[in-house]
């Protein structure tokens, strides 16, 4: 989560300092989406590690388990959607610049 927030701060800083409709902004948002999707994998690995650790304490019962981490993929897909909107805006701006 900290990596995604740091990347978001960097992308927002660059967008405010220059034009937000740049391929660099789109790439940054896609990277944030990938990091958030990797967070979902991290949550699954955390659940697996919890189960393994639980088995070492008491093999007769299981207290650990997997939690459904729906927020990670939703946030990642949201970043991909915003990146595609900005990519379309970038293409439209480039087309407009060639017309005028």
User: Is pTM beyond 0.75 here?
Assistant: yes
Domain positions in the chain: 2-99
Residue 63 has pLDDT above 70, yes or no: no
User: What gap in Å lies between CA 98 and CA 64, rounded to an integer?
Assistant: 59
Q: Indicate the DSSP class of residue 21.
A: S
| Predicted confidence band of residue 42 (pLDDT cuts 50, 70, 90) | confident
Q: How far is CA 27 from CA 7, 44, 61, in A?
A: 11, 26, 47
């Amino acid at each position: 989560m900290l990596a995604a927030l740091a990347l978001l701060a960097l992308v927002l800083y660059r967008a405010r300092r220059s034009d937000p409709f740049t391929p660099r902004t789109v790439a940054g948002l896609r990277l944030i989406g990938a990091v958030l999707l990797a967070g979902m994998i991290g949550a699954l690995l955390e659940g697996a590690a919890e189960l393994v650790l639980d088995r070492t304490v008491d093999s007769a019962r299981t207290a650990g388990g997997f939690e459904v981490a729906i927020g990670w993929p939703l946030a990642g897909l949201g970043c991909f959607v915003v990146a595609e909107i900005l990519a379309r805006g970038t293409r439209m701006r480039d087309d407009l610049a060639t017309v005028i």
